[in-house]
Structures are given as C-alpha cells and as structure tokens.
Structure 1
Amino acid sequence: MRILHVLDHSLPVHSGYTFRTRAILKAQIGMGWEVAGLTGPRQSLFGDSPAEADGLRFFRTAAVAPVRSPLREWREIAALGRRLDEVIAEWRPDQLHVHSPVLNALAALRVARRHKLPLVYEIRAFWEDAAVGNGTDREGSARYRVTRALETHAARSADAVAVICEGLRGDLVKRGIAADKIMVSPNGVDLHMFGDPPPPDTALAAELGLPTGADAREVVGFIGSYYDYEGLDDLIAAMPALLAARPAAHLLLVGGGPMEAALKAQAAASPAADRITFAGRVPHDQVERYYSLVDILAYPRKAMRLTELVTPLKPLEAMAQRRLVAASDVGGHRELIEDGVTGTLFPPDDPPALAAALAAMFADRAGWPHRRDVARSFVERDRNWSSNVSRYAPLYLKLAGRG
C-alpha cells in the first residue's frame, strides 16, 4: 500500500507535530508500506527544506505571496490543492492521509474526489481552539465560528476521521459526526529513542547554575514551547511557596515561544528569581541532557477547551524517560495520567495547589522508583507507536475495499 500524508510542516523542523508525523511514517514503513509526505506552503516559513529528512521522503509546496487573512488562507488552500494534483499524478498513492489543520483537508477533499482516492482526515487539535490557545483569536468570535463550521464540514466530508484522543472524538460526535466514522490514534512514544535515562549531566548542571550534588538537587522542569495555555506563569508563581516547603527546589525552563519575554519578566520580579533558570531553546539531540537534570516534569496547563480536549505528547516522553510527572487536572492530562499511579494531578490555574503537589512529591522520594516503573510500563503497553500505528491498517483496508 502506498500512503501519501498531507501535512502542515515536517522535519527537519522540530515540533510536537513533526515528531508525531515522524513516528507514524517510520512505523508504517516498518509495516512494509510505502509512505511519503506533502507539506503545505507554510513549511517555507522555516527556511529551505530538503526533499528527504531522517530517511523520510517529502514533497514540498511553494510559498504563496504574503497577503492579509483570510485571503492568505484561501491562496494556501489553492496552492496545496494544485501541488497535491501534481504529486498524485507523479507518485500515484493508494491512500490520502490528511493531517490538521483544516486548511489541508479543504485543499485535499476535491482533489481526492477527482482522483477517486480515499481520504482520512486526522485531527490533532481543532484549529479554532488552537487559535484561542495561541492568543490569536477568542472563543465565539466570527472567525472562530467560521473555522469551527469548516472543521465540522471537513470531518463530515472525509471518508474517515482519526483523532488523537477521546476528547476530540466526543466533541465531533456532539457535532453530528457518526461515531463509527471516527477512530482514535493516541499520541505515543518511539521507544527506540528512549532507553535507560542517562545519569545527571553534572557539567551541564554547573553551566546552568544548578546544584550538582544529588542530595542537594530538587529540580522541577518544563521542556517545550512557551504558549499561554501551558500555564508556565502559574509554575513561576508557585516557586516562592515551593521554596518555603522545599528550600533546595529549583525551576529549569527549557524552550521558547510567544510568552518568553513575559515569563522572564515575571521570574525576574519573583522572590524566587535566583532559583529560576531559563535555558533557552536547545537542539533536539541535546534535550536528553536536560531531562537528566530534572526530577519532576511539570505541565501546569490552564483549563480551557483546547487543554480539556487535546492530549499533549510531552508527558508521555517524560514517562518514557522514567521521569516523574506532575500535571494540571484537565481533560487532556486525565487521558494520560492516573493520579497517584503514573503521575500527580493538581487543580489547574492554582499556584498554591501546584506548589503543594510538588512539595509532596519531593517528600516521597521512597515511592519514586515504583512510580517511574509503573509509568514506563504504561507507555510501553498502551502508548508505544509501533502498536498505535497498527490501528490504521484495518481502516485503510476498509476504505480500499469500499473504493
């Protein structure tokens, strides 16, 4: 079977989106299928992109001339549709697998019908909610309602729909999409990339100004993108109370994003300023060194539609690294974390509760080895990409038989 994945962006860009894509394509190749990706015009925002990355083949779409929204989006849809026509004629896929955002689905639907190809639309997050989470729109606006209607139209028009979690599936069913048309392909981890965690990198700890003695170090960490919905302002706000309970505590923030300047200003004004370290963005092949310094990975996402419906990838990677996980009690986290078993859940938007949860975890070091083993076993059993991707096989075969 030859499968063409239609994508917003791909490797060599590093993001949660591209890592999920990489995992899917690699696992499908391992199943004996031929796969390739086609990226949309926005890939060009990240610079020149080769046709091959990490052993994977990608077709590219040329950038469109910059214009204001919404004309820009419609031009992007048209450009991707034309390029998809060309790629289908050249590569002759048996199956189109289109990944969100909805712009990709709108570009591919007509082309798929014209070529009589089955189309699976995979939704990783609703575009309207992602815009609210990124601070570029507000819930209930005219743009929000139009985008929501387009998302519903695309799901209804596709031959099948894949989503990454039960929250998205439930929301689509409420919109009138048939439940038997939707499959759940949850986020997972490529366990070939996560073996035994390395020992703490003491040289890096010294470079960052972290304590190097194991007995003196109590490091809370976040490794990812600095978006408002991640709740990192609550994590910084929790630090004075955490230090009052655990004087050795230190916060390490690795990454960057739209909230970076505001978070640095908040940290500089905090009484805990000398215990908050911003490491900046780091190359992906260096991330494991930073994981090695963190005792507890914290994910204090705020309570909103995006975080209630969508499961993140980072907590699973932390569990695979045998790191302790503390996360806000929102729907996306509850699908991944069993409180007190594979991680700790605390009330969202509540810095004192966050501080208390972290302090309690540091006070229970005797229970850490068991919790790490249980969390790692959960990932191996239920969130391993090699088994997750096998869920697509019966769907593809069903659609091929229908065709």
Structure 2
Amino acid sequence: MRILHVLDHSLPAHSGYTFRTRAILKAQAARGWEVAGLSSCRQPDPTGAAEEMVDGLRFFRTAPCPPSPSPIREWREIEALARRLDQVIDQWQPDQLHAHSPVLTALAAMRIARRRKLPLVYEIRAFWEDAAVGNGTDREGSARYRATRMLETYAAKRADAVAVICEGLRADLVARGVDPGKIVVSPNGVDLSLFGDPPPADQALAESLGLAEAEVVGFVGSFYDYEGLDDLIAAMPALIAARPRAKLLLVGGGPMERALHAQATASPVADRIVFVGRVPHQEVERYYGLIDLLAYPRKAMRLTELVTPLKPLEAMAQRRLVAASDVGGHRELIEHNVTGTLFPPDDPPALAAALAALLADRGGWDRRRADARAFVERDRDWASNIARYAPVYGRLTGKTL
C-alpha cells in the first residue's frame, strides 16, 4: 500500500502542521505502509532539490512559484502542484492520494486524481477562510471569505473521503451538505515515543531569566491574535495580587509580538513578564521545564470553536499542568478539573482567578498530570489513532489493510 500525502509544506520546516504530518507518516510507516509526501511551492526555505529525505521520511518538492498578486498567485500554485503531482505519480506509483488542507492542495490533487483514477482523501485541519480571519489577513463575511468557503465545500463534496481533526469541523461540513458517511474524524494526537518523563528544570536557565523562585505561568507557540495572549498579559496584575511569586514566560513570536511587547511594557507588573523570543526546536524542552502551568487563553471565534489545537496535547503528554479557555476546540481535549482547567474566554479577571486557584492547589497537581497523560495515552496516541485511516483507504483502494 503506497500513500502519497499532498502537503502545503513539510519538514524540515517546524510548525504544528509539519509535526502532525510527521506523526501521521511515521505511524503509517510503522504499520508497514509505504508513505511519501509532496510539498507545494509554499515550502519554506526551499533547497532546490526535487526530492529529499528528512527524519527518515521521503518528500518530493514542487519548485517555487514566482511572486504574483492574489488570486493569481493561488491559481498558479494549484497549477504548479498539479503538474508536479502528475510527475510524482509516474515516478512513485501511489495507490492512494491524501491531500491535507489548505484547500489549494485538494484542488490540485482532485484534478489529477480524476484523470489518473486514483482515490483521494481530503484532510481538513482548519477551514482556510477561518484561518485567514484568525491570522488577521481577512474578515468574516468578506467576498474572499465567502469564495474560500465555497471552495472548501466544493472540495469536501467531491473528494472520495474527508478526514477532519475534530467533531466541530465534522458538524460544520455536515451542515454544509457533505455526506456524513464519507467523513472520518482523525483527531489531533501526539507521538508518545517523543515524550517520556519530563527532564528536571534547568536551574541555570531559570536564574538567567529571573524565574528561579517563581511560580511560572507560560505559553510556548505562535503569537497570533486568536491565541488571546493579550488577555493573559492583562490578567497578570490580578494573578500577582493573589500569587505574589507568579511570573509569565512567553516563548515564541509572530504577528502580535510587537503589540504584546508594548502591552507588557505598559503593565504595572512589567517586571514579571518575560519574553524570550523564538528558540530553536531542540531547545524548546528546556523552556517547558521551567513552566509550572501552561496557559492557552484562545479567544472565542469560529476558528477556536471548531478546531482543536495541538499544543495542549503535547503539554499533557509531557505531564504538564494545562489551563485553557472554554472554547469548543479546547473542550474536545480537556475535561474540566480532571485533565486540566477551563476558564471563560475573553475574560482576564476570570483567567487570573483560574490560574491562581490552580497554582494554590499544589496537592492536586500529580493527579491532574497523571490523568492528562493517561487521556493522551488512551485516546490521542498516533500509534493507535492511525488505525482510523485504514478502513477508509481499504474501502477506496479495494486493498486489505
């Protein structure tokens, strides 16, 4: 069984998208399936190679596309990916195509799949129109938003099968008229082989950041508006009033970085908020080791209600305490007061109160950590989650898996 994954981008780029892709391909390879990926011309930092091995995985590449204004740029990207896919099919002879959002990959793969008589699974990790709103590049209800939504619905209706990462996306597609019988939920998961017992805190690093004696609330990830980090910074004065040793550690960067720095500088507790910027992937674990409590204060909006994030699962796999806003994507991952804490979104005082209560309940930390890790092992380990694809592939290819 040969499965070709058609991707926006892949390793060696680091993102939640590439880490999910890596986990899927590794787990499928461990089942004895032959897998490869084809990245689009959006691949960051292209080497110019037509094919690469990264972390033991085979990736075919599409040559970069020349700059163009939207929507000409997107249609050129679709054309380039379709041409390259045709070449890779001749070379590698896959049995199954598996395109991963955004919808551009599905539109490119759909055209070739029909002509080459290959089955196509379209996997939606987030609706492209909602991701654009969340990233601040579009607004809900605009002409571009409506056009993108139509394309997503078109692709989902015409793919042979659709995989989604959560129930929120599944329900939305059914409401759009997509046949529920062709939708499979393949939830976000983690490769537990990468997460053993967390290492001890790096005391030298803690001291260098002024965190040696602190109760550390932290966030590690990209600084997008929808992540709600402005609410987290706004909650810090009240949190420190309740927990005088509390400090906030922010690791990462992104579109909101400058605004968040300005907000923190103006805060009456500016000296308790520590930014370290982006750090190399191999160094991230050292910073996780300094954090007592991971906070995920996502704002309430379509994107966060429909889509489950990956970061809380990774934190739970590492036996970290997790607190998150009570939005749909988080509710699919976290059971309140069992595997984590949920607090009202867009409400800094409520956020501060929830964090203070959790920091005060040190006696319950070990139980929560164990319950969270057990949930990931039981329900969100890619080694077992990957079995959800098998009946879909088997039905579409006619092969016994």
Per the normalisation by structure 1, the TM-score is 0.97
1:48 is displaced (CA, Å) by: 2.3
Deviation at 1:137, TM superposition (A): 0.3
Match of 1:290 among 287, 290, 294: 287
Q: Does structure 1 retain, via aligned residues, the 8 Å contact 2:46–2:64?
A: no
Deviation at 1:368, TM superposition (A): 0.4
Unaligned 5+ segments in structure 2 are: none
- The separation in 2 between residues aligned to 1:84 and 1:207, in whole angstroms, is 49
- Give 3-state SS (helix, strand or coil) of 2:220's partner: strand
- The corresponding residue for 1:6 is 6
Aligned residue for 1:331?
328
Amino acid at match of 2:253: G
Distance 2:207 2:240 in 1: 20
Q: Following TM superposition, by how much is the alpha carbon of 1:329 offset from its aligned partner in structure 2, in angstroms?
A: 0.3
Residue in 2 aligned with 1:234?
A: 231
- Counterpart of 1:46 in structure 2 is 45
Q: Is the 8 A contact 1:12 1:49 kept in 2?
A: no
Superimposed CA distance per residue, residues 79-126 of structure 1 (whole angstroms, 9 cap, x where no aligned partner): 000000000011000000000000000011010011100000000000
Give the distance between the partners of 1:5 and 1:367, measured in 2 at CA: 43
* SS state at 1:156 partner: helix
- How far apart are 1:49 and its partner, in Å? 6.8
* Structure 2 match to 1:118: 119
Name which of 292, 298, 303 aligns with 1:306.
303
Question: Deviation above 4 Å: which 4+ runs of structure 1?
Answer: none
Alignment of 1:12-51 (within 5 A): 12-43=12-43, 45-48=44-47, 51=52
Q: Give the C-alpha shift of residue 339 in structure 1.
A: 0.5
Decide whether the 8 Å contact of 1:52 with 1:58 is kept in 2.
Answer: yes
Tell whether 2:314 aligns with 1:317: yes
Match of 1:370 among 352, 367, 371: 367
Measured against aligned partners, the alpha-carbon deviations of 1:337-374 in whole angstroms (never above 9, x if no partner) come to 00000000000000000000000001100000011000
The alignment partner of 1:301 has SS state of coil
Which sits farther off after the overlay, 341-350 or 278-287?
A: 278-287
Q: Deviations over 1:264-296 (max 9, x none)?
A: 011011011000001111111111111110000
Provide the C-alpha distance between the structure 2 equivalents of 1:308 and 1:46, rounded to a whole number of angstroms.
32
2-structure distance, mates of 1:56, 1:181? 29
2: CA distance, partners of 1:166 / 1:219: 33
Q: Distance in 2 between matches of 1:46 and 1:180?
A: 39
* DSSP-derived class of the 2:398 partner: helix
SS of residue paired to 2:82: helix
Instruction: Report the Cα offset of residue 217 of structure 1.
Output: 2.3
Counterpart of 2:340 in structure 1 is 343
Aligned equivalents of 1:376, 1:162: Cα separation in 2: 25
In 2, are the aligned partners of 1:2 and 1:35 still within 8 Å (CA)? yes
Q: Distance in 2 between matches of 1:30 and 1:365?
A: 39
TM-score by length of 2: 0.98
Aligned to 1:186: 187
The one-letter code matched in structure 1 to 2:283 is: Q
> Following superposition of structure 1 onto structure 2, how do residues 49-128 of structure 1 map, counting pairs within 5 Å?
51-128=52-129
The 3-state SS of whatever aligns with 2:279 is coil
What is the one-letter code of the residue matched to 2:150? Answer: A
Are the counterparts in 1 of residues 219 and 251 from structure 2 also a CA contact under 8 Å?
yes
- Tell me how far 1:209 sits from its aligned partner: 1.9
* 1:41 aligned counterpart, secondary structure: coil
**Equivalent-residue separation in structure 2 for 1:208 and 1:69 (angstroms):** 43
User: C-alpha displacement at 1:46, in angstroms?
Assistant: 2.9
Opposite residue 370 of structure 2, the aligned amino acid is D
Alpha-carbon separation, structure 1, partners of 2:323 and 2:48: 36
* Contact persistence 2:48–2:63 (CA under 8 A): no
> What whole-Å deviation, never above 9, does each CA across 1:240-286 have from its counterpart, x for those lacking one?
00000000000000011011011001101101100000111111111
Query: Is residue 99–residue 121 contact of structure 1 (8 Å, CA) maintained in 2?
Result: yes
AA aligned to 2:337 is G
% identity of equivalent residues: 78
1:120 counterpart SS class: strand
Q: Partner of 2:216 in structure 1?
A: 219
Q: What is the rounded CA distance, in whole Å, between the counterparts of 2:236 and 2:46 in structure 1?
A: 38
Q: Which of the numbers 241, 257, 268 marks the counterpart of 1:260?
A: 257
- Any idea what the Cα deviations from partners look like across 1:151-190, whole Å, max 9, x if unmatched? 0000000000000000000000000001111000000011
CA shift digits 1:48-77 (9 cap, x unpaired): 276111111000001111010000000000
* CA-atom RMSD in angstroms: 0.9
